[in-house]
Amino acid sequence: MKASLKEELIKARNGKYAVPAFNFDNLEMMKGIIEAAEEQKSPVILMVTESAAKYMGIDNVFAFAMDATEKSNVPIILHWDHGFDIELIKRAIDCGFSSVMLDSSLKPFDENVKETQEIVAYAKAKGVEVESEIGHVGGKEDDRDSKSNGYTDVNEAIEFDKLTQIDALAIAVGTSHGLFKGEIKLQFDLIEEIRSKIETPLVLHGSSQVPLEDLQKAIDLGITKINIGTDLKIACAQGLKDWFEKNPSGFDARQYGRNAINFVKEEAIKKIIAFRSNNKA
Ligand code: 13P
């Protein structure tokens, strides 16, 4: 069933769990995520990036993901992740996505505020919720590579939150996107301080490959949305490799696809249980 991002994140904060936010790039990944959420009775955020939407076709992706959302018995939020292109974000809003993220975090503060305000005004008029980022989580993000520009500044975050009236705030606290993160040192004190000063639900990007105990500690301190992309891509690829190793001359897309779904599902279940969102639907 379709659900509200902010409502689910506030429930998570009160219940001391986080809602898993998983990226999908194809139908197999989407099915694995939804099957995991349904089996574990977990709310889930289904995320598509710009390049994933271009790969699948934005109207196709919306059609099959929204159909699956509406038919599901768990709360699902269909989310546009890392929007860099304002026109594409507006298209996602017009299409009917439940929430969108604008990522202008590498731009100067005033520009980030202005662009976020523009998206909030456009989205709110259509009942769509908005996430934006302050401070920059670097790494391999969608098709771009960037460096982190340090951690989120608390005062900037307070000001940004006040000026933009967003529904979820992504902060830079020591993670980065992609497979190769170098040393991961989550800034727990910073999460705690931001949480004590900002009511808007907090989002952790770049959470693949981060030890689950660290993510659990981050949840205890107030993170309510945890983004996972790379770990599910790895699972999908492993599912395919595993199937072809066992069936070297096989060619049935439904059979190798099913194995990819199973691997994605298993990985998603591990995260759901670690984030304690099971049985919260
Ligand atoms: P990872 O690929 O590092 O999990 O990051 C995903 C992400 O933050 C998507 O917004």
Minimum-distance ligand 1 atom for the alpha carbon of 179: 3
DSSP code string of 172-211? -SS--BSS---S----HHHHHHHHHH--SPEEE---TTS-
Minimum-distance ligand 1 atom for the alpha carbon of 176: 3
Q: Is the CB of 177 under 6 A from ligand 1?
A: yes
Model pLDDT, residue 148: 67
pLDDT digits (tens, 9 = 90+) for 58-112: 999 999 999 999 999 999 999 999 999 999 999 999 999 999 999 999 999 999 9
DSSP strand E in 84-192: where? 99-102, 129-134, 139-141, 144-146, 168-171
Tell me the CA–centroid distance for residue 141 and ligand 1, in Å.
7
d(CA 63, CA 61): 5
Cβ 227 vs Cβ 23: under 8 Å: yes
Residue 135 structure tokens? 């401070």
d(CA 267, CA 274): 11
Q: Is the CB of 116 under 6 A from ligand 1?
A: no
Q: Is the CB of 82 under 6 A from ligand 1?
A: yes
Task: Name the burial class of residue 241, with classes exposed (0-12), middle (13-18) and buried (19+) by CB atoms within 10 angstroms of its CB.
Answer: middle
Annotated ligand binding at 57? The verdict is no
Mean pLDDT across the stretch 33-54?
97
Annotated ligand binding at 85? The verdict is no
Model pLDDT, residue 180: 72
Q: Is 168 in a helix, a strand, or coil? A: strand
Confidence band of 149 (pLDDT split at 50, 70, 90): low
Amino acid at 77: I
Contacts of 131 (CB under 8 A, 6+ apart): 5, 79, 99, 100, 101, 102, 166, 167, 168, 169, 170, 203, 225
Question: Could you confirm whether 67 is annotated as catalytic?
Answer: no
Minimum-distance ligand 1 atom for the alpha carbon of 230: 2
Q: Is 41 in a helix, a strand, or coil? A: coil
CATH number for region 5-232+271-275: 3.20.20.70
The preferred substitution site among 77, 133, 228, 275 for testing ligand 1, maximizing ligand atoms within 8 Å of CB, is 228
Q: Which is the catalytic residue, given 25, 81, 167, 231?
A: 81
Q: Is the CB of 81 under 6 A from ligand 1?
A: yes
d(CA 72, CA 1): 5
Q: Is the CB of 227 under 6 A from ligand 1?
A: yes
d(CA 235, CA 83): 25
The backbone region for 222, taken as left when phi is positive above 0, alpha when psi lies in -120 to 50, beta otherwise, is: left
pLDDT digits (tens, 9 = 90+) for 7-27: 999 999 999 999 999 999 999
Model pLDDT, residue 141: 66
Helix orientation angle between 212-221 and 188-197, rounded to the nearest 10 degrees: 30
Annotated ligand binding at 229? The verdict is yes
d(CA 272, CA 160): 30
Give the DSSP letter of residue 150: S
Model pLDDT, residue 139: 77
d(CA 106, CA 104): 6
Per-domain residue ranges of the chain: 5-232+271-275
Minimum-distance ligand 1 atom for the alpha carbon of 208: 4
Tell me the CA–centroid distance for residue 15 and ligand 1, in Å.
24
Model pLDDT, residue 183: 79
